[in-house]
Structure 1
């Protein structure tokens, strides 16, 4: 889509209002009404294009929130990787929810902290991620990556980002993550549903709790085996979501990435 390289910047408040009012499932007529309400007569000063396209351009160019940075990170870092790599949006881990993670030969978690975020919850989030993923990264702005709290371990990787003249974001690997071998097998198995554990342990699941299945799995498999099982589960469970997203991505607006990943509908049906 042309909108992916034709951003409109310098409209921070307007972009935030548009993002807050936007929904993927809104009709073109409804979105046009949103633009009229927020831009007023100034709408005539913008390119003559669809309402959805214009909202996408303004939001991506002027509102660097999590959705904007995540979409650019996907475009610049995750999509160019091997097609065998499976990326996952918003995976619940412990008491946290990792912004993006991926699995192929190894697993990696990415926590995004924009300039609109605080580092208040980061310590607990990193604790959860290091228990489950082999590598962990924090993704933050060029202005903030040197200001990460002291509790961020040296083994944590860092990506910084900076907006370019065309509105897109360039990501720079500031520190490479160190692969961990000290993973929490029980916490990994907590991510795996009971049905998968039953299949793994050749049990029908009737009359047995998930906690009991986890205990059996811990007794029958060592930590390396459980880590392999965990990664295999993620690939099997989310591979179809990522494959479908990769297929649809050229026709999806960036602000809709997560929605289409979740539902997998054709853009022609929604747009």
Structure 2
């Protein structure tokens, strides 16, 4: 008899799982986690597929919300590039989308605390034209005091069958706090040299100052978006092209590494 509830099992399973585990290792972790009593919901699933389904359904952490948001929202539109885990100021942004506009998405699950949101909002509004928070509909009222009125909101809830349902609860207002310095600070010295034709100087700060003195803020914003789109196009396109063969809990790993799922899932 399984004594723990499914959330506790999913939490344990999440701490043990890694994309690079062999199928046999995934099986052994499942047996260890469930004390040799794996609840099989669909016998046609492989052990790895079962792990993915179980974690997405019963452990709605950032990884689960991020991947299902991609499936339900971001992948539904074309002509954009999305990016995982971008360093912005002193924060690490969960997702962003670059097309004609730049849009930031910060995920706050029911497992997260909102205490860092104020600082994250400050960082994101300096760099992106639109900023959204993605949060559980059950946690919406707890999140609102930590975000400005100009921040958009996506809510989600999970059905009994484990399906995530997202809804845009508030549309983001274009940021009035865009900082050329903050945008350029997100980029590397190589980016500044390649996309802004800035000579290599000893410090990135000196290169940024030179660019700001030569180009308008509008020009910098336009090139900034072009740079991010070009840098991450191949990674995002790889994920889209192979998404049918990649498990949701592994999206971020494959985005970063661009290795064929056939090789990893041997």
Same fold (TM over 0.5): yes
1:251 matched to 2:250: no
What's 1:232 paired with?
226
Cα distance in 1 between the residues matched to 2:157 and 2:147 = 21
Is residue 17 of structure 1 aligned with residue 12 of structure 2? Answer: yes
Separation in 2, partners of 1:184, 1:44: 52
Give a deviation string over 1:94-133, Cα, whole Å, max 9, x none.
1001000010000000000000001011111111000000
User: SS state of the match for residue 89, structure 1?
Assistant: strand
1:71 aligned to 2:64? Answer: no
Q: Which of residues 160, 172, 175 in structure 1 aligns to 2:155?
A: 160
What SS does the aligned partner of 2:57 have?
helix
Which of 114, 117, 120 is matched with 2:115 structurally? 120
Cα distance in 2 for partners of 1:137, 1:204 equals 35
Q: How does 1:192-207 map to 2 (within 5 A)?
A: 192-205=187-200
With over 3 angstroms needed to count, the CA separation of the structure-2 counterparts of 1:190 and 1:37, relative to structure 1, is same
Q: Unpaired runs of 5+ in structure 2?
A: none
Q: Is the 8 A contact 2:117 2:146 kept in 1?
A: no
Q: TM-score, normalised to structure 2's length?
A: 0.93
Equivalences, count: 260
Q: Could you tell me how far apart the structure 2 residues matched to 1:266 and 1:15 are?
A: 27
Query: Is 2:199–2:207's contact at 8 Å kept on the other side of the alignment?
Result: no
Q: For 1:1-271, what aligned pairs fall within 5 Å after superposition?
A: 11-43=6-38, 45-48=40-43, 49-82=45-78, 84-205=79-200, 208-271=202-265
Aligned to 1:6: none
- Structure 1 residue runs of 5 or longer lacking an equivalent are 1-9
**Aligned to 1:88, what secondary structure does the other structure show?**
strand
SS of structure 1 residue aligned to 2:119: helix
Please list the CA deviations of residues 60-105 of structure 1 after superposition, one character each: whole Å capped at 9, or x if unmatched: 11111111111110101111111x2000000000100100001000
In structure 1, what is the Cα distance between the partners aligned to 2:39 and 2:173? 52
**Aligned residue for 1:3?**
none
Higher relative contact order (CA 8 A, sep 6+): 1
Which digits, 9 at most, give the CA deviation of each residue in 1:169-228, with x for residues without a partner?
A: 1011110000124301001011121122223454552x5432221111001111111100
In structure 1, C-alpha distance between the alignment counterparts of 2:196 and 2:81, rounded to whole Å: 25
RMSD: 1.5
